[in-house]
A and B are shown apart, each in its own frame.
Chain A
Amino acid sequence: MGQTLAEKILQKHTGQEVSGPGQIVQCSVDMVLANDITAPLAIKSFRAMGANKVFDRDKVSLVCDHFTPNKDIDSAEQVKVVRDFAGEMGVTHYYECGEVGVEHALLPEKGIVGPGDVVVGADSHTCTYGGLGAFATGMGSTDVGAAMALGETWFKVPPTIRVNLTGTPGEYVGAKDFVLNQIGILGVSGALYKALEYDGEVVDNMSIEGRMTIANMAIEAGGKVGLFPADAKTMEYAKNAGFSGGEPMAADADAEYERVLDIDVTGMAPQVACPHLPDNVKPVDETSGLKIHQAVIGSCTNGRIEDMRLAAGVLKGRKVDPKVRCIILPATPAIWRACMDEGLMEVFMDAGCIVGPPTCGPCLGGHMGILAGGERAISTTNRNFKGRMGSLQSEVFLSNPAVAAASAVAGEIINPAKL
């Protein structure tokens, strides 16, 4: 019987024979990741295990991106713990200061993760690298601490839901809308413990950035991984990023799926996830007219250069509503620079946006854009849980970058086509 993408990748990392869903397999890992919030706990566990060196200094990434530039004394102390540990262990991929970006945008861009890898990260959106054809999943700090010490971890082989995306998307409709739509169909626990695997003509035509946007939100349906085949585009992206190794890979034609979801994107409207769950998804027109106080364009979901271009395309020659804080956070220094080189920064400044450093910031209600009670935001991030961006009495709506930018101009949620 054929293998799914998840089974194929796991098989390459274990001596056991991968026989199917439910089986527990011990796998070697190609990269282990933690950030400024989760690394201190991972380090605590690592030390409690009696470990005194990481299994491979080139295969650990520590990215201080959540509360940085350090928002207060406590977060500065946490970053110090991570920095000291990185120094002591000689960790190659330690990022802070002017080099840091949002982890899941940074690692693919630097060629640190790539097709065929098994990656575990103490961050739930580690699944982003599935866009590159990596079996990448989030875990807690102690699991990650153990992986840092041992270079291996255990997985339960997941059953797979296959999502076929077909058709031709309209203007202002893209990867974010496809994934929101699919989460609306599956529900926030619809892929619990499962792998999502994507294919279809829409996927073939999609950029790697778009694939990563979709893979990023696998966890929002409860999924373990969101996997894309590694095709010629993937190989080119990985090579340009400096990733060595990896090979083209697709699921076997006779692989067995628990469920197949066929989604025709033709005629799909831009999608918006309403408070307070990412599966509360509606076409944008059903939410239009709702006044907003803040628009956030950035994050590991939509902070890449394509997203910046989409936002700038809408903002060019327009002004943000004076009552709206439009916060733009290019996700990495390289993306920031590309925004400058391409003239997008000028568009953002002319429109009256606030452009910030690469950081998670407001996405998790950390800093640089916290909501007061009664305030409403539209955001290109991935979670709209109650209180996620600030007050328990605030609201977050999730959308693609064009919808967020258009809404910032209108002062209310709007379909960019109607601006």
Chain B
Amino acid sequence: MKVTGTAHKVGDHIDTDAIIPARFLVTTDARELGANCMEGLEAGWVERVKENDVMVGGENFGCGSSREHAPISILGAGIPVVIAKSFARIFYRNGFNMGLVLLEIGDDVDKFSDGDEIEVDTATGAIRNLTTGEAVQAAAVPPFMQEILDAGGLVEYAKKKLG
């Protein structure tokens, strides 16, 4: 799948309290959670987002609590892909389970600025900055996680196992 959208750049160590503060955790609804995405970073942050935009994070994106509401709120805001220097462990696993595409690209993240137009091939991990013309390749998805993705996510994977 190819995703083309505007880059929304955020800093290092974006924690899950920034992505979705605890006071909004009284629902599991993606749309409601999405309406408050990044509310812990900046009030009204989500208003800048259009469907299919891309979040560009720094180091350790998604650190902190295990709340799966974090990837759900990003998806709910209309963002299908997060590119980052690195991801926090629980968030990385959650993202995959929820169908949020997470691409780790290390220092190449500096090649993207806020507002750049980005094209992401979610199948190959190829990322192009349409504004500057630069191209970047994300690290491959670990094989076991690819298996879960291929099964259609963890829910489908578990469904098969439960048979």
A interface, CB within 8 angstroms of B:
24, 37-38, 40-41, 44-45, 48-51, 66-67, 72, 74-75, 77-78, 121-124, 126, 138-143, 145-146, 149-150, 154, 156, 188-189, 192-193, 219, 222, 224, 277, 364-366, 383, 385-388, 392
- Interface residues of chain B, those whose CB is within 8 Å of chain A, are 13, 15, 17-18, 21-23, 25-28, 40-43, 59-60, 63-69, 71-72, 86, 88-90, 93-94, 97-98, 142-144, 154-155, 157-159, 161-162
Given contacts A146-B158, A192-B89, A383-B17, contact A139 B66 (CB under 8 A): yes
In the assembled complex, the Cα of A126 lies from the Cα of B90 at a distance in Å of 12
Known A-B contacts A38-B66, A154-B144, A365-B21; A49 and B13 likewise in contact (beta carbons under 8 Å): no
Check A156 against B142 for contact (C-beta < 8 Å): yes
Determine which of A142, A364, A366 lies in contact with B154 in the assembled complex, contact meaning CB atoms within 8 Å: A142
A150 to B161, CA, bound (A): 8
- Take A48-B155, A365-B21 as given contacts and tell me if A277 and B13 are in contact as well, using a CB distance cutoff of 8 Å: yes
Q: Give the residues in chain A near B94, CB-CB below 8 Å.
A: 139-140, 142-143
Chain B residues near A138: list those with CB within 8 A. 66, 90
Among A140, A192, A277, A388, the residue within 8 A (CB) of B66 is A140
Which B-chain residue is minimally distant from A71 (CB atoms)?
B26
Q: Which one of B26, B41, B60 has the highest number of Cβ atoms from chain A below 10 Å of its Cβ? A: B26
B15 surroundings in chain A (CB, below 8 A)? 383, 385
Q: In the complex, which residue of chain A has the Cβ closest to the Cβ of B40?
A: A387
Closest Cβ of chain A: how far from B142's Cβ, in Å? 7
Q: Which residue of B lies closest to A77 (CB)?
A: B26
| Interfacial chain A residues near B155, Cβ < 8 Å | 45, 48-49, 142, 146
The chain A residue sitting closest to B24, CB to CB, is A74
Subset of 6 A-B contacts with CB under 8 Å = A45-B155, A78-B26, A140-B68, A156-B142, A385-B64, A386-B17
Q: How far, in whole Å, are A392 and B67 apart by their CA atoms in the complex? A: 19
The minimal Cβ–Cβ distance linking B16 to chain A, given in whole angstroms, is: 8
Given contacts A123-B65, A149-B162, A385-B17, 9 further A-B contacts (CB under 8 A): A51-B162, A74-B26, A142-B68, A143-B154, A146-B155, A192-B60, A365-B22, A365-B23, A385-B64
In the bound complex, CA of A66 to CA of B18 (Å): 18
Q: How far is the CA of A388 from the CA of B13 in the complex (A)?
A: 14
Chain B positions within 8 Å of A66 at CB level: 22
A252 to chain B, nearest CB (A): 25
Bound state CA distance, A47 and B142, in angstroms? 27
Contact B68 A38 (CB under 8 A): yes
In whole Å, how far is B75's beta carbon from the nearest beta carbon of chain A?
13
Cα A133 to Cα B94 in complex, Å, equals 26
Q: Is the CB of B64 within 8 A of A49?
A: no
Residue of B nearest to A366 (CB): B22
Alpha-carbon distance between A43 and B13 when the two chains are bound, in angstroms: 29
Contact between A143 and B17, CB atoms less than 8 A apart: no
Q: Would B65 and A364 count as touching, CB distance under 8 A? A: yes
Q: When the two chains form the complex, which single residue of B28, B43, B60 contacts A188, counting CB atoms closer than 8 Å? A: B60
Max chain A Cβ within 10 angstroms of own Cβ: one of B26, B40, B66, B72: B66
B41, B67, B68, most chain A CB atoms within 10 A: B68
Contact of A222 among B22, B41, B60, B67 (CB under 8 A): B60
Instruction: Report the minimal beta-carbon distance from B35 to chain A, rounded to whole angstroms.
Output: 15
- Is A139 within 8 A of B67, CB to CB? no
A38 to B70, CA, bound (A): 11
